[in-house]
Amino acid sequence: MEIKFIVDNNVGKLAKWLRIMGYDALLFSGEDDGRMVKVALAQNRVILTKDTQIMKRRLVTSGRLKAILIEDDDIGAQLHQVVEALNLDYHFSPFSICLECNQRLVERDKDAVREVVPPYVFKTQRLYMECPSCHRIYWRGTHWQAMNRELEKLAGE
Ligand SMILES: [Zn+2]
């Protein structure tokens, strides 16, 4: 079964990087911990947080709900901790989750994006993915490559 996450505000940057890796990582921006715990339980998500109070909840201590207490402030170290704890793959499924809204991307025909991507991109890229929610179009251009390099740096590759 695929691992899914709910990422607490206090370690919010993790959501972006987990999405880049291809993991479903919901960002929880509310204040109510109880609500985050409820969503995690209902959607079978692993909680990532710096909040020690969450780790003391019975649902977590009993093992019904999985939560990881993030220790470091550095995003590279945070990511390492999660990857180690759950044996994740830095290159699990790149290019598959919208970085803005965490929706699974859908492949689009080249012809379908002609009007919405810059002409240079259209000429040079063949594979396009669209977010069904915000309708952003993704392609493996220079922006994507730069993010990938940054991920490799974080991963220590
Ligand atoms: Zn989106």
Task: Output the pLDDT for position 106.
Answer: 97
Task: Output the pLDDT for position 90.
Answer: 95
- Contact between 140 and 115 (Cβ < 8 Å): no
CA of 48 to the centre of ligand 1 (A): 22
CA of 73 to the centre of ligand 1 (A): 27
Write the CA distances from 101 to 36, 57, 116, 146, integer angstroms: 17, 28, 19, 20
Task: Output the pLDDT for position 129.
Answer: 96
CA of 15 to the centre of ligand 1 (A): 14
Task: Output the pLDDT for position 2.
Answer: 87
pTM: 0.94
Q: Give the whole-angstrom CA distance, residue 79 versus residue 14.
A: 7
Q: Which amino acid is at 87?
A: N
Task: Output the pLDDT for position 157.
Answer: 75
Q: Is 27 helix (H, G, I), strand (E, B) or coil?
A: strand
CA of 151 to the centre of ligand 1 (A): 20
Task: Output the pLDDT for position 153.
Answer: 94
Residues in the chain where the model's pLDDT stays below 70: none
- Residues with CB under 5 Å of ion ligand 1 are 98, 100-101, 131, 133-134
Task: Output the pLDDT for position 30.
Answer: 87
